[in-house]
Amino acid sequence: MTGQKDKVFLLAPGFEDNDRREYCPECAELWGLLSYFPAIKESVDITYQAIAKPRVDIAEALGDKNQNCPTLILSGDSPRYKGCGIMRKNGHYFINNARDIGVYYSKRFGTPYPRGYVPSEL
């Protein structure tokens, strides 16, 4: 993904599951963060996924066991910071939960940290 934007995978809002319409709280949290800070939103490509698995776009990049939403796949040019849950699979660096993505953005863009965050480097 060198030279490209980071990619964020979110579940589409209002999906059908459990015989009703639902939304993913973690995806909504991340969408809120992107809305709070337009500079972050402009730095990523957002791809919506269906609730059903396989979530082909994520599975193609990270394998069948890494299909969580939200997931941020970092471009080859994006910095890697300690303490924000960055993992590596199939040559891609990624973060697969809203709070760690929020911490990553705090380190990268200087935005506030998620409430309750305690640096793991201490």
The answer to whether residue 121 is domain-embedded is no
Which CATH number fits the domain that encloses residue 45?
A: 3.40.30
pTM: 0.92
1: in domain:
no
pLDDT category of residue 122 using cuts at 50, 70 and 90? very low
Q: pLDDT, tens digit, for every residue of 35-75?
A: 999 999 999 999 999 999 999 999 999 999 999 999 999 99
| Domain-embedded: residue 115 | no
The number of domains in the chain is: 1
Residue 36 domain boundaries: 6-109
d(CA 76, CA 117): 26
Query: Is 114 within a domain?
Result: no
